[in-house]
Structures are given as structure tokens and as C-alpha cells.
Amino acid sequence: MKNDEVVSLLKQFGACEEAVLKVREHGGTDYKLWQTWHDGCDLVWLLSALHVEDLEAARAELWRVCAAALAESGRVYDAAIAESSRVYDAACEEPRRVYDAAIAEARGVYDAAIAEARGVYDAALAEARGVYNAALAEPRRVYNAARAEPRRVYADGIRRAVPWATVKAAIAAAIAVKEAEGDA
């Protein structure tokens, strides 16, 4: 199956636009995509969409393998986000004080006063959110880099658990069902 046909099939099964774009950019036939795709979560989605038998048993084993592979990336992420969390908490202290002051008088007439207090809080917190997002950019990059290898390991495990012949048969069956639905 050529890449355009794979893209068409993914769309028929409701793949998100991001996945369709990644498959189009990756290129290649259905076999090449199966053999080289780097994200095990995407492969599990495909197998689920194709109703591949025995997926649950394979998935349980794969999650065990994935959890072990992700343990290190979790530790890397926790270390990477520690400073961002500290920066965020410190940046929120003043907005929280402003919010508490703005809402103190409004407590008796909450429904009427909350809109104004919320506006004050949101305005006061805007800078803190910007600081947080800026501080989190590098930890997110580190986290994504740390997860790349576990995701590849997961994808390799899926390919070992579900042979290409099973996937190919499931694709053919899914196409036949879609065509039959179109004739009905």
C-alpha cells in the first residue's frame, strides 16, 4: 500500500490530523511505516483501530516493557521540572496575594463580585504564566528527548508481538469492511 493509500486509510479510521501529517512526512509504504515507525503509542492506536486480535495480551506485556523503559525518562523529567516548578511557585505568590485581597470583600456577594476578582487574578497571574511557560521550555525538550528511546523500544516491542502479516491481514479486512459499508 502506497503512502497516499495509508493516509487515506488512517483518515477513514479517524486518525488525528497530526498523525496523518506525520505519516505523510515520513513517507513510505505500509510495510516501511510499520517497520520504521518510532512511536509505539501510535502503533497501538492503529492495531486497535484495525481490531487486531490478541491486542490486549500483547498490550499488557508492552506496557510492562514501556514502563521499565520510561522509568528513567520520568526521573529525568522530574529533575528537569524541579527548577521550573520552584520558579512558578515563586512567581505566583504575588498574584495570589492580589487575588486574595481582591476577593476578600466579595465573599459576601460572591456571584456578583467573582467576575471582577477573577479578572484581577488573571491579569496578575499573566506574567507568572509567562515565566512558567518560559521556564518549562527546556524541561519539556529534555523530557521529549528522554522519552524518544523508550517510545522506540515500545514500538520495537509491538513489532515483535504483532507480526507484519497480522497487520497486513487486519488492513485488508478493514478495507473490505469499509467497502462493504459503502455498498450498503
For residues 82 and 7, state if they share a domain.
no
Residue 94 lies in a domain: yes
Residue 57 lies in a domain: no
Task: Return the pLDDT at 135.
Answer: 92
For residues 149 and 172, state if they share a domain.
no
Residue 62 lies in a domain: no
For residues 122 and 141, state if they share a domain.
yes
For residues 122 and 178, state if they share a domain.
no
For residues 80 and 120, state if they share a domain.
yes
Task: Return the pLDDT at 131.
Answer: 92
Helical H runs in the chain?
Answer: 3-12, 17-26, 30-36, 40-49, 55-104, 110-161, 164-183
Residue 21 lies in a domain: yes
* Per-residue pLDDT of the chain in tens (184 residues, 90 and over written 9): 888 888 888 888 888 888 888 888 888 888 888 888 878 778 878 888 887 766 677 677 777 777 877 787 888 888 888 998 999 999 999 999 998 888 887 776 777 768 888 888 989 999 999 999 999 999 999 988 888 888 888 888 888 888 888 888 888 888 888 788 776 5
For residues 45 and 100, state if they share a domain.
no
Residue 44 lies in a domain: yes
For residues 93 and 115, state if they share a domain.
yes
For residues 2 and 32, state if they share a domain.
yes
Task: Return the pLDDT at 54.
Answer: 67
Residue 113 lies in a domain: yes
For residues 141 and 171, state if they share a domain.
no
Provide the domain limits for residue 22: 1-52+162-184
For residues 78 and 133, state if they share a domain.
yes
pTM: 0.45
For residues 155 and 74, state if they share a domain.
yes
What whole-number distance in Å separates Cα of residue 31 and Cα of residue 182?
26
Task: Return the pLDDT at 115.
Answer: 84
Q: Which residue has the cell 512511536?
A: 39
Residue 59 lies in a domain: no
Q: Which residue has the cell 467497502?
A: 179
For residues 110 and 136, state if they share a domain.
yes
Residue 29: strand, helix, or coil: coil
Task: Return the pLDDT at 29.
Answer: 86
Task: Return the pLDDT at 113.
Answer: 62
Question: What domain count does the chain have?
Answer: 2
